[in-house]
Amino acid sequence: MSRKTLTRRQFVAATAMSSAALITAPYVRGAYAAGKLSIGFWDHWVPGANKASTDLVNEWAAKEKVEVSIDYITSNNKKLELTVAAEAQAKSGHDILQMPTWWPHAYADQLEPVNDIMEPIIKQNGDVNGTVKYLGQGGGKWLAVPATVGSQIKGPCSRIDLMKKHAGIDVQAMYPAGSAPKADNWTMDTFLKAAEACQKAGVAFGIGLGETTDSVDTAGAIFQSFGAELVNAKGDVTVKTDAVRQALEFYKKLIAVLPPDAASWDDASNNKWLISGRGALILNPPSAWAVAKRDAPQIAEQCWTHSMPAGPKGRFAPFLPYFWGVWAFGKNKPAAKSLLAHLSQPSSIEKFVAASGGYDLPAFANLTKLKTWAEEGPPKGTLYHYPDPHGSQTMSIAASPAPPKIAQQIYSQATLTKLALRYARGETMDQALAWAEGECEGFMRS
């Protein structure tokens, strides 16, 4: 067997030639020259809505030469929250992860600040509401980018016919499609009277008193419209105030005319209540209406989404924003930020809204009048007031303005609904307030 040996001279010549060739060769960019990016998005319940996200990501990936992988993670049984907790614990996982409401604050230390992309996005799309700032900012930094996908308002979805017949309220006249609301009389008192009338007529308002988000969000908006805070922005416990007492008195009257099993309702119960034709009003994003459109079109044709009633301290809408967070331990942060900037472009947002049939809500002031909401139906214009295009209400989240880490405890442990239920079920005002005070003191752990 012959073996050709390489002389020292030959080796030096070959190395020099290779180096020269490499240096002088033109740069050819590979298909995935900008690396890889892994994304965990919330798994949308609207069929086909995930496709809009996939298309937008792929469009960006092709332009930026990034290899992307997307996981759609359901929020059923808190799978999304579990994923956030697990990745934060392992310090490994997706580069971008979608997070609901409180989670950016809960994992603030592990998130990459996104001021550099938020400032131009706000400049382009308009300012964000106070709740988005409250949940998305910490220590003067933007912790995450508000996501259009999944963000929602849980305002009233009323039955046009039943409200007119039993409560004498024309919701379409109050909230006409295409123009500003004429709803000065839509107050908590009117709401309560309508609830009583509808209950008497056998079509009670479907408002839950359970421990899931729909029930908690409703309680939050009602408490806020009375100016009732369990813990104030400074972190002081403010349970024993007149505002809280007033809110509880209102709730007690309301609970008396809600379905008797409302304490066991979950987030699906109010949807079923409306779709089955048993209720005149629920507080929910348009998902119930969308399902009714498929399963009970005669009910869907009578649904009208509009704003909350006003209390003594104003009109507050339960708003639940989602966020896209970039982990500080992520491997491709520049690409992650570039993608989030792309997903926050007005054209991308318009696609998200259209793909979700109007369910998804952008957080930006300039994007509340997209044509999807004006055109969706039947009845046409049913979603016109869903994004609050005329700014008639304050977007809020239950337990705010307490510092987010305390508020998250109040929210996730459903302290507001439990407090209302305790009082309505026979505890004295002092007993109920003492219980809530004890709970809130326990939430002060750091």
Partner 1 sequence: MAFFLTLPLILLIALLVLYPAFYSMHLATLNKSMQKFVGFANFTFLFKRDTFWMVVRQSCIFAITAVFFKALLGFIVAHFVHNLPAKGQRKWRGMLLVPWVIPPAMSTLAWLWLFDPSYSAFNYTLSFFGVGPVPWLGDTFWARFSVILVNVWYGAPFFMIMYLAALKSVPDQLYEAAAIDGANWWQRIWYVTLPMMRNIIAITTLFSLIVTFANFDIVRILTSGGPLDSTHIFATWAFQVGIQSSDIPLGACVSLFMVPILAVAAIFILRDVSKRGNEA
Residues touching partner 1: how many (CB under 8 A)?
Answer: 44
Residue 4: how many other CB atoms lie within 10 Å:
5
Closest CA to 161 of 303, 257, 24: 303
The answer to whether the Cα torsion of 43, 374, 350, 217 is positive or negative is: negative
Part of the chain binding partner 1 (CB under 8 A), chosen from 78-86, 114-122, 163-171, 232-240: 78-86
Nearer to partner 1, 81 or 376 (CB): 81
Nearer to partner 1, 139 or 260 (CB): 260
442 forms part of the interface with partner 1 (CB under 8 A): yes
Q: What value, to the nearest 5°, has the Cα angle with vertex 99 and ends 96 and 103?
A: 120
256 forms part of the interface with partner 1 (CB under 8 A): no
141 forms part of the interface with partner 1 (CB under 8 A): no
109 forms part of the interface with partner 1 (CB under 8 A): yes
159 forms part of the interface with partner 1 (CB under 8 A): no
Are 359 and 46 a contacting pair, CB within 8 Å? yes
Site for partner 1 in 202-231 (CB under 8 A): 209-212
Nearer to partner 1, 354 or 444 (CB): 444
368 forms part of the interface with partner 1 (CB under 8 A): no
293 forms part of the interface with partner 1 (CB under 8 A): no
Part of the chain binding partner 1 (CB under 8 A), chosen from 6-14, 116-124, 242-250, 409-417: 409-417
Site for partner 1 in 1-30 (CB under 8 A): none
Part of the chain binding partner 1 (CB under 8 A), chosen from 34-42, 152-160, 220-228, 419-427: 419-427
Beta carbon of residue 362, minimum distance to partner 1 (angstroms, whole number): 26
CA distances for 114 relative to 142, 179, 240, 275, 324, angstroms: 5, 36, 39, 41, 10
Token pair listed for 425: 């079920």
Nearer to partner 1, 42 or 175 (CB): 42
345 forms part of the interface with partner 1 (CB under 8 A): no
Beta carbon of residue 85, minimum distance to partner 1 (angstroms, whole number): 6
Give CA–CA dist 384/381, Å, rounded.
5
75 forms part of the interface with partner 1 (CB under 8 A): no
76 forms part of the interface with partner 1 (CB under 8 A): no
Judged by CB under 8 A, which of 196, 229, 376, 439 binds partner 1? Answer: 439
Indicate the residue type of 376. Answer: E
Judged by CB under 8 A, which of 51, 63, 78, 200 binds partner 1? Answer: 78
Judged by CB under 8 A, which of 10, 18, 69, 264 binds partner 1? Answer: 264
Give CA–CA dist 105/95, Å, rounded.
18
273 forms part of the interface with partner 1 (CB under 8 A): yes
Give CA–CA dist 99/408, Å, rounded.
14
Judged by CB under 8 A, which of 102, 134, 142, 175 binds partner 1? Answer: 102
Beta carbon of residue 446, minimum distance to partner 1 (angstroms, whole number): 6
b/e 87-107 (16+ beta carbons within 10 angstroms → b): bbeeeebbbbbbbbbbbbbbb
Token pair listed for 105: 């604050």
Nearer to partner 1, 67 or 427 (CB): 427
Part of the chain binding partner 1 (CB under 8 A), chosen from 138-146, 155-163, 286-294, 406-414: 406-414
Judged by CB under 8 A, which of 254, 353, 383, 421 binds partner 1? Answer: 421
Token pair listed for 154: 């849980």
Nearer to partner 1, 178 or 442 (CB): 442
Nearer to partner 1, 189 or 266 (CB): 266
Give CA–CA dist 379/176, Å, rounded.
12
438 forms part of the interface with partner 1 (CB under 8 A): yes
82 forms part of the interface with partner 1 (CB under 8 A): yes
Judged by CB under 8 A, which of 266, 350, 375, 437 binds partner 1? Answer: 266
Judged by CB under 8 A, which of 41, 42, 60, 103 binds partner 1? Answer: 103
Residues that bind partner 1 (CB under 8 A): 77-78, 81-82, 85, 89, 102-103, 106-107, 109, 209-212, 259-266, 269, 272-273, 276, 278, 405, 408-409, 412-414, 418, 421-422, 425, 435, 438-439, 442, 445-446
